[in-house]
Amino acid sequence: MAAATDVLVIGGGLMGCATAYYLAKSGAKTMLIERNPSPGLETTARSGAIIRAHYGVPTLVKLALEANKRYARFDDEIGHPCGFVPGGYSVLVDEGDAQNLRDITAMHQSLGVNAQLLTPAELKEIVPAVKIDDAALGAYEPDGGFASPPQTVTAYAARAKELGADLRFESPVTEAHSDGAGWQVTLRSGETISAGQVVLCTGNWSKPIGALFGLDLPVTPARAQIVVLERPASFTGTFPVVSDLINLAYFRADGDSGMWVGSSDNADLSEYLPRPDGFDETTGAQAVSDARRKASLRFEGMEEGDKGGVQRTFSGLYETTPDWQPILDSFGSTLHAAVGFSGHGFKLAPVVGEAMAARALGLTDPFDISIFTLPRFAEERPIRSSYPYLRAKFLR
């Protein structure tokens, strides 16, 4: 006999667990299935988990702003910690992007973001270790920061379960069929689940899983290499995330003495993979060298050859779409997808989870997500920033 549920969420990363939480909170009979033995072991586990509202697309700014507020009160609302570190978020640009930064900050302020322009010297007062010789202008969000991926996904999963959701791990999907009123979904174990509604939160597995449901979801895994460096003894503790749009890197604290270094260079995010499994999870020597060089250009005491070494390195995957923006859409009245976040997923999870739960329950969208429909690609309507930076391009 098939198991039955009102809503089936496929995918147990952060987006799936957030969606399951909002569904269970509403009282819906909810089941979540995940191919791995526990939640958040793939894309979520390797996320930088940076929380900010700095986008060039107003719709994204609004969603991120609301999500930021939810991270700030996350522990009280969910009842489990997310490890939010409210250290702030900053951007540095050179003269070529200074006017763009002025315009984008004015847009942020008009939408209610607590953002301000800073001279490089003013930013250095906040982050004394930062080098500013090549910078023309900065922007700062005091309410930004970062959180803990394992704590956040575990918190949503635990709260969803406490509210009655059925979370099933090591349960990959092998078949899906519409019965007119809903879906019959078969697992590798042979068990069939009958669901009135299905929400796909399938990350880098969206293309093969989407095909089981008759969808062609243009989501492609892209490999990203991360290097965590040791900071000098003079530079410890929390500091604001620094998005360096001059040298195309971003930096955040990793514990009291580490510095997470990621690339914002298009050229470093061009290794697209046919599948999300079996990829090289190590980091190449060139990526390590680039991270050390960029850190030394932006921070005192991080010069190449300095005694501070590499704490650890690894690679993860972005679930990318052609315009590097998510797909949030419904297909008929029983199938929904929240996929292709292209690096935005962690910061948007609290609002997208609620939005997809509302879709599955037949409720009005709580947020405007209308620009993120799948047909935009076939209709050549990509989402683009109104304030494109000269170097960062599609990453904003």
The answer to whether residue 394 scores a pLDDT higher than 60 is no
pLDDT, averaged across the chain = 95
**3-46+150-219+323-395 and 85-144+220-320, same CATH topology:** no
Please give the pLDDT value at position 31: 98
The answer to whether residue 230 scores a pLDDT higher than 90 is yes
- Binning the chain into helix, strand and coil, the percentages to the nearest 5 are 30, 25, 40
Identify the residue whose tokens are 């270094």: 261
How confident is residue 395, by pLDDT bands cut at 50, 70 and 90? low
Please give the pLDDT value at position 304: 59
Residue 151: other Cβ atoms inside 10 A = 18
pLDDT digits (tens, 9 = 90+) for 292-331: 999 999 999 998 555 458 999 999 999 999 999 999 999 9
State how far the Cα of 279 lies from the Cα of 152, in Å rounded to an integer: 25
pLDDT digits (tens, 9 = 90+) for 200-209: 999 999 999 9
Domains of the chain, residue spans: 3-46+150-219+323-395, 85-144+220-320
Exposure class string for 230-268: b at 16+ Cβ within 10 A, else e: bbbeebeeebbbbbbbbbbbbbbbbeebbbbbbbbbeeb
Please give the pLDDT value at position 393: 66
**Letter for the amino acid at 357?**
A
- Report the CATH fold assignment for 85-144+220-320: D-Amino Acid Oxidase; Chain A, domain 2 (3.30.9)
Q: Which CATH class is domain 3-46+150-219+323-395?
A: alpha beta
Please give the pLDDT value at position 339: 98
Mean pLDDT of 69-98: 97
- Asked if 83 and 147 touch (Cβ cutoff 8 Å), the reply is yes
Please give the pLDDT value at position 373: 98
How confident is residue 1, by pLDDT bands cut at 50, 70 and 90? low
The answer to whether residue 396 scores a pLDDT higher than 90 is no
pLDDT digits (tens, 9 = 90+) for 159-205: 999 999 999 999 999 999 999 899 999 999 999 999 999 999 999 99
How confident is residue 133, by pLDDT bands cut at 50, 70 and 90? very high
| Reported pTM | 0.97
Among the residue ranges 35-44, 109-118, 309-318, 385-394, the one predicted with the least confidence is 385-394
316 membership: H or E segment, kind and range: strand 310-320
State how far the Cα of 162 lies from the Cα of 155, in Å rounded to an integer: 10
Please give the pLDDT value at position 296: 95
Please give the pLDDT value at position 172: 97
Please give the pLDDT value at position 185: 98
Q: What are 46's two structure tokens?
A: 């390797």
- 3-state secondary structure string, 229-282? EECCCCCCCCCCEEEECCCCEEEEEECCCEEEEEECCHHHHCCECCCCCCCCCC
The residues, ordered by sequence, that sit 6+ positions from 147 with a Cβ below 8 Å of its Cβ are 49, 51, 71, 74, 82, 83, 84, 85, 346
The answer to whether residue 242 scores a pLDDT higher than 80 is yes
How confident is residue 267, by pLDDT bands cut at 50, 70 and 90? confident
More confident residue, 270 or 27: 27
